[in-house]
Structure 1
């Protein structure tokens, strides 16, 4: 196992519907910039543990649990990507130091782009990790079928119960995208998701939140258009392989070109040897994310 992740501080920020939980890895110096990190559709703030470890205090890293997940499970709806973007803006305004870099993974990348569009004064740069670029549904494919195909495995997990924490641990250790790798950080991230009591532990993610957010990732025009209307510098990083470690990832050069993304404004870079999950915590993925976050040199020293 790798060494354990840096233990973050935990706080809350008031938002409409409740208090949003936020993990905070503080910087080593008070003048350091702020990075706000937005997790994926069924994840939580500890998804960023390896990025936090490798940043090593060069920035203050804020990672909220989005409403309807983990320690923000009790924050009421409505859900949706614009609502999450406004929540991220509230976190940035309450806990940040000046305009922040916002990084998002998977669904969080759409949220990061929307945050910049809706709250340009709070965001100076965005880093989009294996998300934010949308494609039209294939001809003849109903929206509900596309949604079921994308969310099917996640929705199945949300309906499951587990007799104890070891059972949930083994569920994730068998996930094909993990490739047999495990660490104390991955363990802490997956365990943070559990709620309830033995023998009926379950994922903290609220089904309504996941369904609402997933539909908007596929179908919402404002979310799809955000990456094309960014008011600040941006970069897209994409994983070589997919959600189940399949050879075809969400993106490739041809798909990015066909999306109409202006890669002169939003450069797009492959992160070799990563899949949709490991791009966050493998050495190759986490190091590349850290380089992207520190690209303007403002966190040097």
Structure 2
């Protein structure tokens, strides 16, 4: 084992935020703030943790997800960003390298804009830059266009944890990447009682965040003011292991041209999920993180 895992509860607006912390067993080289996706949780990061033996990984359940579902008040990009600042405050981390996956990449950008002095570098993993959403869509149409079956799953009920795992076993994204780490991640997502188990994240929370992400001003302001060294990683395939990916290959040169300070890294052989939830995807993310040469925090 290269890390010791624990969870803490961090006071934020409206309640407590659950946070996973992986402390390195040896000398710490960097603090990494890891921000998960739209219906995910802090347990999305075990492969990245294993690939970074010297890093302390700090990963919250964003409000409305995982064990952070009892918070009062609205979500949205600014709310999540301010929650991240509260996490670093409690752990006495002055600056961190921030890794965000999917919606977490959008949150990370807004965090870096609102709390610029808390961020040393940004790693955006298959998210963060504007999505290719047709104009004129309603909020529900935007969610369906981007997330599709991911959003539909939130209304489903499952008789047992085994039934939920069986549901995911049939998912094309994990056809070649079913692991004990994935099972633990998926089981953690369930709330309620048998036979009425359900995903922790509500459709209303996804809608609130997706509308803010795609139509609010926070992300546009953050991208316009981008001033941290930033790497943008993209998966070869999409949420259903399909091509085109979330960021189609033909769009990427135009996106990079719009943000000339951005470094792009294409990650082959992974989809939107397995870019973090597989060893080969996590190794690609970790290679970028290991470029950080400075210890971010003296310890907490």
Q: With structure 2 as the length reference, what TM-score do the two structures score?
A: 0.91
Distance 1:216 1:298, change over 3 A: same
2:15 to 13, 18, 22: 18
Gaps of 5+ in 2: 296-300
Cα pair 2:267 2:284 within 8 Å, conserved: yes
In the aligned structure 1, how far is the partner of 2:218 from the partner of 2:93? Answer: 28
Say whether 1:34 aligns with 2:39.
no
1:44 to 41, 47, 56: 41
Distance 1:228 1:250, change over 3 A: farther
1:152 to 148, 151, 166: 148
Q: CA deviation at 1:134?
A: 0.3
**RMSD between aligned residues:** 2.1
Distance 1:112 1:139, change over 3 A: closer
- The residue correspondences of 1:81-92 to structure 2 (distance < 5 A) are 81-92=77-88
Gaps of 5+ in 1: none
In the aligned structure 1, how far is the partner of 2:154 from the partner of 2:140? Answer: 18
Cα pair 1:68 1:76 within 8 Å, conserved: no
Q: CA deviation at 1:107?
A: 0.2
Distance 1:245 1:226, change over 3 A: same
Partner of 1:163: 159
Cα pair 2:2 2:24 within 8 Å, conserved: no
Distance 1:45 1:274, change over 3 A: same
Cα pair 1:103 1:109 within 8 Å, conserved: yes
Q: With structure 1 as the length reference, what TM-score do the two structures score?
A: 0.91
- The residue correspondences of 1:275-290 to structure 2 (distance < 5 A) are 275-290=271-286
In the aligned structure 1, how far is the partner of 2:259 from the partner of 2:24? Answer: 32
Secondary structure, aligned partner of 2:127: coil
In the aligned structure 1, how far is the partner of 2:136 from the partner of 2:220? Answer: 20
Secondary structure, aligned partner of 2:192: strand
Cα pair 2:256 2:262 within 8 Å, conserved: no
Cα pair 2:256 2:264 within 8 Å, conserved: no
Q: CA deviation at 1:182?
A: 1.0
Q: CA deviation at 1:30?
A: 6.2
The worse-fitting range, judged by mean Cα deviation, of 107-116 and 282-291 is 282-291
